Amino acid sequence: MTYELAQVTPIILMLNVHASRVNDLTQPDTVVTDPPVPMAGYHDGFGNWCTRLVAPAGRFTIRTDGIIRDSGQWDTRDASAREVAIPDLEPETLVFLLGSRYCETDLLSETAWKLFGQSPPGWARVQAICDYVHDHISFGYEHSRATRTAAEAFKERRGVCRDYAHLALAFCRCLNIPARYCTGYISDIGLPQPHAPQDFAAWIEVFLEGPSGGRWHVFDPRNNDPRIGRILVARGRDAADVPLSLTFGQHTLTNFQVTADEVAGSPGT
């Protein structure tokens, strides 16, 4: 990412892989800046790793590059997973039942119950939500708007991956299913050519109960199909909690490039 900064600018970054994937790194994804500046890290309230720095005025570039070992398997499905009754939910999941900056459960609750109230509870209901959102919203980078909420995405029927995620999150929460926002890398490994331009991506995780107990399951309303090499960077209530970069000053983003490729000759990486 390259910025043109009008003045000295504090920045907070979320660019390193999530703590749950750190042990899979075979080459650390160290953040490097040009020009170099001092940096400090911390964990936010959701456990995401953040980097703080103060950038000088002018041209400023931020990059990170790492290698991570992945299973090479497609996203898993568990069609038998059940919804968990609210009294039985783990306390840390309860915040993901609430409305948030981009997910207005109060505005969408009636719609959610009309659309999905008769769907079989559990995995099938969440998949019905993802199917609906995938078909309801038309994707296009030209439709990107940082202020668009779930209710607006429902009305406008267009957006980018974060809008798909926000609408699916809001519907799940309206139906008393804990759901959280995820951001990270989604590779094109195993998919036919031609590939679309790469980018960071947003998906969701939903708390359901299977034979081994309750856990978070991945759903992807934007792509609505399994992927190989889904690498988590951060989780939160919605996009407001997990910005890739948060700049505290006037700036222009002049270059942005994302690459997620399989390393040749390294099976399982």
Q: All domains of the chain, ordered by start, with CATH?
A: 2-68+244-255 (2.60.40.2250), 86-241 (3.10.620.30)
User: For residue 96, what are the CA distances in angstroms to 22, 99, 114, 181?
Assistant: 24, 8, 21, 9
Q: Note the pLDDT of residue 237.
A: 98
Least confident of 122-126, 202-206, 225-229, 239-243: 225-229
Q: Is the pLDDT of residue 140 over 50?
A: yes
239-251 mean pLDDT: 95
Does residue 104 contact residue 244 with C-beta atoms inside 8 Å? no
Spatial contact of 162 and 222, defined as CB atoms under 8 Å apart: no
CA dist 33 to 5, 25, 108, 245, Å?
14, 20, 42, 13
- What would the mean pLDDT of 182-200 be, rounded to a whole number? 85
Percent of the chain with pLDDT over 90: 87
Which range is least confidently modeled, 101-110, 122-131, 187-196, 258-267? Answer: 258-267
Which residues, including other chains, have CB under 8 Å from residue 252's CB and lie 6 or more apart?
3, 4
Give pLDDT, residue 211.
Answer: 83
State CA 28 to chain mean position distance. Answer: 21
137, pLDDT greater than 90: yes
Helix 105-116 and helix 123-136: axis angle, to 10°? 110
pLDDT band at 265 (very low <50, low <70, confident <90, very high): low
Whether residue 15 is predicted with pLDDT greater than 70 in this model: the reply is yes
Share of the chain above pLDDT 70, in %: 98
* Summary mean pLDDT of the chain: 94
* Cβ–Cβ under 8 Å, residues 227 and 74: yes
Report pLDDT for 194: 77
What's the pLDDT at 195?
A: 75
Phi, psi of 54 (to 5 degrees): -125, 115
